[in-house]
Amino acid sequence: MNKQDLVAAVAKRMGVTKARAREITELFFAPSGLIASELRKGGKVAITGFGNFETRKRAAREGTNPRTGKVINIKASNIPAFRAGKTLKEVVNRKRS
């Protein structure tokens, strides 16, 4: 499922136009949306039964430029991460009949 499919599914389930469904979807998932804004502040978004969005610190390290083979320094950074909740894991692992 891509973003377009998600918007169409939201529109169908909620009985709204695709334009309205896109607004709703982007409210949460756009780079300027609620989840990204909270992560940018260093916060965590916990959705019970679904999972947690959080940031993890990645330490500075040395890497290799694949084109030149030269050793380069990579700065420390924060990366977004998602950890699935127990209920979501159970639903995904449930056998189909």
The 10s digit of each residue's pLDDT in 13-48 is 999 999 999 999 999 999 999 999 999 999 999 999
Give a three-class secondary structure readout of 32-60.
Answer: CCHHHHHHHCCCCEEECCCEEEEEEEECC
Phi first, then psi, for residue 32 (nearest 5°) are -105, 10
Structural domain containing residue 38: 3-93
Enter the pTM of the model: 0.76
Question: How confident is the model over 52-75, as a mean pLDDT?
Answer: 97
SS3 category, 7: helix
Residue with tokens 């420390």: 76
pLDDT the model gives residue 76? 97
Q: What is the pLDDT of residues 65-87, one digit of tens each?
A: 999 999 999 999 999 999 999 99
Q: In this structure, what CATH number is given to the domain that contains residue 57?
A: 4.10.520.10
* Structural domain count, the chain: 1
